Structure 1
Amino acid sequence: MQPEIDIYKRQVEKWKQLFYSKVEKNKKCVVMFSMFATYTSLFGNLHEKFKELGWCVINLKSPHCKDAMLDKKAITLEIPFFQNEYFLDSLNLKGIDLIISTNITSKNLISQNAVGLYLSHDAFTGVVPESGYKYLFFATQSAISSMVNEKNNYDCTNRCFIKGGYLKLDATIKSYESVKNNYKETKSILIAPTVKSPQTATEESLAYNVGFDQHLIEFLLEQTSYSIIYRAHPTSLTHPSYDVLKTKFQDNQRVEFSNKSLLEDYARSLCMITDISTTAFTYSLTTLKPSIFFAPGVKVFDPQRRPVEKLGFHAKKTSDILKVIDTIKTNQEAYANKIEKYKKEAIFNIGCSEEYLLENLEYILTHKKHPNWVYT
């Protein structure tokens, strides 16, 4: 056992020296920490913004976080990996001013001294990360309220809830504007289910975990003239059911298992059908097109945590979907106006969340109390 420990210590020490060689002297340093590629879009354009301010920017990610675009934005290092385990607890890196994370993993495992800022994934429901993240950047009042109301279920001690906005959404909207005009006609329906795993095989998402996605595709092919764009959750691409589904429809010209850019799929679709995935929120708030939440197991969605009626429709059976598609088709402008109005009311600092964060950065770095943030 001791030889293995010695090997591990040498590897970690070697990795730390590599890290320190990347830190630029006489510059403030921010580390963007991400374990999964699914969540790297939450950073928005912060890499570029911090570079413009003269900061040293370093990506710290797991070997499983495959994101070529992220790697191009800044110096990228993978977390030390030894015998199939991550060893964050031995790092305690110095010289980092700020860690911005999309993960709940404790900031203190990376650095005790750096200030921790957590970017919440869900726009409408808050999640409190592990120790070290004093500052939590939320998109809506609903997310903050969910934390305040359930503080007994989370470690909310010495936290600050920032009324910041949704960096991912702002960046997506800006990029979408340059893509949408390439697709004048929307003759497709985009299906985007939640992640397939035992953890998501709940009553709410049961439809997409027992083959209902196949049933849904067959139903739409039979009952409508639309083409189907099926976009699996990134972490579900290796799920056995995905290969089965592709094989089932591989010869059908109206079914596409998309690997195009997400924004292209947004632009060429009339609407999105999901089960309970929050990807529908991003879709509707970006495109101003309604989403259909096909969730037979859900009686009523919580309007604060899942504002389905503000952004689309809840379908409990396939016949509901047909009615909704017809309604969307004939009332596109009205729904666009409705979603735009809700977006401006619900999302903090829409269109300028990055600017808001950077303008108020000193409150985070110096722990000065901000008059509009919620402290616990």
Structure 2
Amino acid sequence: MPGGYPKLDDSIRKYESIISSSSLKNSIIYAPTLSALMTTDETKFTYSIFDAVEFIPAILSAFPDKNIIFRPHPDDLSILKQGVVTKRANAFRTLLELCESDPRCSLDSGQSDYLSTFEKACVLISDTSAIAYSFALITKKPVIFYSADQNKVRELMADVAYINDRDRIGCCVDSIPELLNSLSNYFELDSKIDSDRVNFCDDIVYNKGKSLQYLIDNFDYIVSGEKHPEWWYSQDHC
């Protein structure tokens, strides 16, 4: 059913109501995947928190006019408050200490409202967190995907659209020099709009801006069981 995403439509409307052309977009968001509880190496290629302990200070050193906003998954913050001790949890604690000691590194601990943080940022760094696509679809700004081995990520998740489409909204890197170079390139192009990224963000979501109305208009098909002539039904293809 090409219904769309009402929550995304609402977020875009709210974001557009708060954006300011005069405010300085000099922040970089780092938003990693929920990971503090992980204790195995199964996800080492898709998580970035260990590398972040090194690349966050490197970014602060390389770009003295930029700020870092660290936005962990809210559940990771809850896990840390419970005193959980894992290697990944300790990496999170290291970054939280940096947020306390460096005036250009701040913590965004908001449970749900991330739009004001999005508004301050010029780019977002993530690994495999869904917030990467939320950021791109809402703001049209670029995302840098950092993982320890991008080739391994593509190999392990070859059939996952999220992985295959990442270059459509930004770029993929797996080293700190690559990350710094990509950031530098995006800062240089800050005033230029990437039309390919914007077009992808506009085209990938059904009924953008009117998804709720689409669901209301077609609600009878959902509850009655009557087949919509334009919808795809799995039972017809078994």
Residue 193 (structure 1) aligns with: 32
SS of aligned partner of 1:305:
helix
Deviation of the 1:304 alpha carbon: 3.1
1 or 2, which has the higher strand percentage?
A: 1
Aligned to 1:305: 162
Give unmatched runs, 5+ long, in structure 2.
81-88
Name the structure 2 match of 1:265: 117
Q: Which consecutive residues of structure 1, in runs of 5 or more, have no partner in the other structure?
A: 1-161
Larger RCO, structures 1/2 (Cα 8 Å, 6+ apart) = 2
- Structure number with greater Rg is 1
1:233 to 66, 69, 73: 73
Aligned counterparts, 1:109-148, within 5 A: none
Provide the identity percentage: 25
Alignment of 1:69-148 (within 5 A): none
RMSD: 2.1
Aligned match for 2:212, one of 354, 360, 364: 354
Are residue 252 (structure 1) and residue 109 (structure 2) matched?
A: no
CA contact (8 A) 1:296 1:317 kept: yes
Change in CA separation of 1:168 and 1:227 when aligned onto 2, cut-off 3 Å? same
Q: How many residues get paired?
A: 213
Q: 8 Å contact 1:203–1:298 — kept in the other structure?
A: no
Structure 1 residue 239: Cα displacement: 3.2
Q: As a proportion of its length, which structure holds more helix?
A: 2
Amino acid paired to 1:367: G
Give the superposition deviation at 1:317: 0.6
CA–CA separation in structure 2 for the residues paired with 1:199 and 1:176: 37
How far is 1:227 from its partner? 0.8
Q: Which residue of 332, 337, 353 maps to 2:195?
A: 337
- Contact 1:285 1:339 survives alignment (8 Å): no
| Offset, 1:175 | 0.5
> What displacement does 1:164 show?
1.2
Letter paired with 1:233: H
Alpha carbons of 1:341 and 1:177: their partners in 2 closer, same or farther (altered >3 Å)?
same
When normalised by structure 2's length, the TM-score is: 0.82
Alpha-carbon separation, structure 1, partners of 2:118 and 2:18 = 9
Match of 1:172 among 11, 18, 36: 11
Q: Following the alignment from structure 1 to structure 2, what is the Cα–Cα distance between the partners of residues 265 and 243?
A: 21
